[in-house]
Chain A
Amino acid sequence: MNAPFEGIGASVRRKEDLRFISGRGNYTDDINRPGQTHMVIKRSDRPHARIISIDASAALAAPGVVAVYTGDDFANIGGLPCGWQIHNKDGSPMVEPKHPVIAHGKVRHVGDPIAVVIAETKQQAKNAAELLVIDLEDLPSIATTTDALKPGAPIVHDEAAGNLCYDWHLGDADAVAAAFATAHKVVTLDLENNRLIPNAMEPRVALGDYDRHTGDYTLFTTSQNPHVIRLLMGAFVLGLPEHKLRVVAPDVGGGFGSKIYHYAEEAIVTWAAGKLGRPVKWTAERSESFMSDAHGRDHVSTAQMAVDKDGKFLALKVHTLANMGAYLSTFAPAVPTYLYATLLAGTYTTPVIYVEVKAVFTNTVPVDAYRGAGRPEATFLLERLVDAIALDMGMDRVEIRRKNFIPRDAFPYQTPVALQYDSGDYFATLDAALKSADYAGFPARKAAAAAQGKLRGIGVSTYLEACGIAPSKVVGSLGARAGLYEVANVRVHPTGSISVFTGTHSHGQGHETTFAQLVSDQLGVPLSQVDIVHGDTGKIPFGMGTYGSRSLAVGGSAMVKAMDKIIAKGKKIAAHLMEASPEDIEFKNGVFSVAGTDKQKTLGEIALTAYVPHNYPIETLEPGLDETAFYDPANFTFPGGCHICEVEIDPETGVVAIVNFNAVDDVGRVVNPMIVEGQVQGGVAQGIGQALLENAAYDASGQLLSGSFMDYTMLRADDLTNITVGTENTMCTHNPLGSKGCGEVGAIGSPPAVINAVCDALNIRHMNMPATAEKVWSIINGRAAG
């Protein structure tokens, strides 16, 4: 009997599941260290205030209290660094105010840390935090993106005049102006991309430990990229050298971007552990997550497309205001620029594009990348604009897309906004999605719904995204302060089993399975003989972590490169053993053989020889079978696809029900179809959440109105229907796997599909997200404009 197929393309059940379904996961909060203390953070309840005084005497005298630290203790320590520098139109750098670890002098958003209390128990720390006497003098504050630049608006940072962080642009303004001047029509749409709170189900946790005898620090943290945290915190904040700092990100309960960034709490517990000589643990309560995890989106834009009389796109002009919050989070400046403006060609041949982006400071939680990061904002803008053009021109929404698609034979396709797409077929994904959604049968379903007094609508969105982040040289020239390659170490053990150490991190993506399949496939060993190790800077050579759908396309490619080295070395050993020339050795299904003969050696035999090198070309070859590769991608990858949403609205209540959702995506080579389907379903659900329910609401002064699950509506099982997922894949042409990435496509393609369907059902030109029952009801009843 043949062993079941476990290689590339098999829907293997996940290796990691057994521990998770048995309650044996090892999340950061499950870790406790001997002698551990507990930290509680006193956070600002004011959006903007001067810190007049902090009296900690009563707190320090309270039972169990070990220490109280404030901004004064961190005054001479580096601020939290920003990893990307954007330049203004005039070439000057963006304004980059210090982001103190603990607020110093002023607090700038609700949730800004003012002081921390460390005690023997969490309860003692909480009690003592209540005894801190903090005198704050309120300052005028600003929260709304559109008000931040208005003359006379309260100023968040003295060094950022008018609250402007940067004023950036991309594209050819003159060419766009010329096209607008002669176009048949210019279609304009104003739109907002609502602010979101990521809400991974596991709240953030940080546990710092210090060994007085060795001087070694260890940080356990809920991170998507432990090496990045080691670098940022070690080099820029605390001044600890890499060899004295180990960062461990064990099982992590979801990230969606929010666990990429280096957060203050990580630096505080590590620093305090060193001061106190005792472990210090902090676990966020959910209400803290709401005001301290980086938020997502928050764009306000005007989009204009010039079209000819047949609906062909001639020129696109976009103006966007992006809210950065009170400080610059790790990747924040890149999101509304290089992850957004460069995507505005989408799936279309629009020949000239000009984008202006102004980023502003406000007294709100910092905003950074959240699942999709910039690309959902670009897609929402484009796909809403295309529907508006179709409506204004009296054209069919699907046909206008087809008319403007980049043709199949035009790849590689150079867009006017810097990116060069390597491959794609937008006609194929569109056609497959139309079929899967039974688009042709929609009018009948709409009529049937109407007979029941319900409003049905259908919405189509065709999207393109750039991920597999990223070619180091390219991002370096665009302002990134890091390289974005990935690292893999493939260690074949003496008896032939394999450990793979990857710099990517799995927090739900199933890397322990997908990567093991990849290795099993290429090296011809059973899946059970392969373990994937991630999340520990003490074990893994280096790595940039997991975000931007990069793990398979970049991290998997690094594995392929390392395995190539293993095979090349194995061939030399096999040649020696079988007295042949290395060029005559073939490797297939885990076996080295001499071409044209029946002589062969298994990978296990070669591994044993490599570690017990008695009969071995020791003069020319080192022993061992352990190879590392750094892989720097040649380009981004470009998944694309089509999402079609069908909604039914009850005009009595305004509730929007998703009755049908079909996604057809092009994600390149698929290793595990079951996992890809799950990733798309999860992403689509988050996109539907953004479109229908989620909104991080601030009042005009900066008080967070949606600060818990009571006021911030998370999608629940009964808000959804089944999500049908298909793929129509074209291969990535520049990485060895052909894979493009699938983590973000769901959240990118779905929001405009939903809103296009809602606008169709309501027969309106536009409405902003979220399409809550209240808003929809108001529109139906003429109480609000779309």
Chain B
Amino acid sequence: MPQVTLTVNGKSATVEVEGRTLLVELLREKLGLTGTHVGCDTSQCGACVVHVDGVSVKSCTMLAVQADGAKVITIEGLAAADGTLHPMQEMFREHHALQCGFCTPGMVMAAIDLVNSNPLGLSQDEIRHGLEGNLCRCTGYHNIVKAIDAAQGIMHAPAAE
């Protein structure tokens, strides 16, 4: 069986996988990182989004072997070492952007990449378009859009002197 070596949330891991093993299966089943969810089998819901080398990826659509040598961040790896939440996590909580929480890890990971890739800021409409790859059945998106809008303000704020 092929071996994959990758860094997940700052820790290096070497795992044996089958050729067909998906990245999400590696994360959930081999590494026990169950924060990343599976909501579909057609690559459409975004519950499985993680960051691979800084870019959001649907981990149900990437083979584990393709992640060999990559740096992967999952929802479990977002908060700082001292437990301080990422501003996107904070704003999701502040703006009630989650109900059942199942879409939330993927939403948060996708939203961070969306904000990072748009340093000039996004309008609410652009946020809505940017979320095209993520489904939420609970919230009606209203509060998710609000949370991302609030988080971009914090993420793009010039660091305090």
Contacts and interface: CB of A to CB of B under 8 A. Distances in A.
Interface in B64-94: 74-76, 78-79, 85, 89, 92-94
Contacts of A18: 93
Contact of A16 (B101, B125, B127): B101
B84 to A, nearest CB: 11
Interface stretch (B51-59, B135-143, B152-160): B135-143
A285 interface: yes
B121 interface: no
Contacts of A123: 18, 20
A681 B131 contact: no
B135 A709 contact: yes
Identify which of B20, B40, B138 gathers the most chain A CB atoms within 10 Å of its CB. Answer: B138
Nearest to A11: B96
A784 interface: no
Interface residues of B, number: 55
Contact of A723 (B33, B34, B102, B142): B142
Given A22-B75, A709-B44, A203 B138 contact: no
Interface in A19-72: 19-25, 27, 29-30
Contacts of A722: 124, 142, 145
Contacts of A677: 96
A718 B35 contact: no
Interface stretch (A135-143, A247-255, A570-578): A247-255
Interface in B10-60: 18, 20, 28, 33-42, 44-45, 47
B137 A720 contact: no
A332 interface: no
B104 A21 contact: yes
Interface residues of A, number: 55
Given A201-B100, A510-B99, A720-B128, A685 B89 contact: no
A682 interface: yes
A722 to B, nearest CB: 5
A509 interface: yes
Interface in A139-180: none
Contact of B98 (A20, A287, A686): A20
A674 B36 contact: no
Given A20-B101, A27-B102, A720 B75 contact: no
A708 B108 CA distance: 24
Interface in A680-726: 681-686, 708-710, 714, 716-718, 720, 722-723
A200 interface: yes
Nearest to A723: B142
A293 to B, nearest CB: 12
A504 to B, nearest CB: 15
Given A22-B35, A681-B140, A686-B137, A717 B145 contact: yes
B60 to A, nearest CB: 10
B5 to A, nearest CB: 22
Nearest to A256: B137
Contacts of A17: 92-93, 98, 101
Contact of A202 (B93, B102, B125): B102
5 nearest A-B pairs in the assembled complex, by CB-CB distance? A23-B35, A253-B102, A20-B101, A685-B140, A508-B100
Given A21-B98, A23-B36, A25-B101, 5 more contacts: A201-B47, A253-B101, A678-B96, A683-B140, A716-B141
13 contacts: A17-B101, A21-B92, A22-B35, A22-B89, A27-B34, A201-B100, A201-B137, A253-B37, A286-B45, A681-B139, A686-B137, A718-B125, A718-B132
Interface of A: 13-14, 16-25, 27, 29-30, 123, 199-203, 251-254, 256, 285-287, 507-510, 674-675, 677-679, 681-686, 708-710, 714, 716-718, 720, 722-723, 746
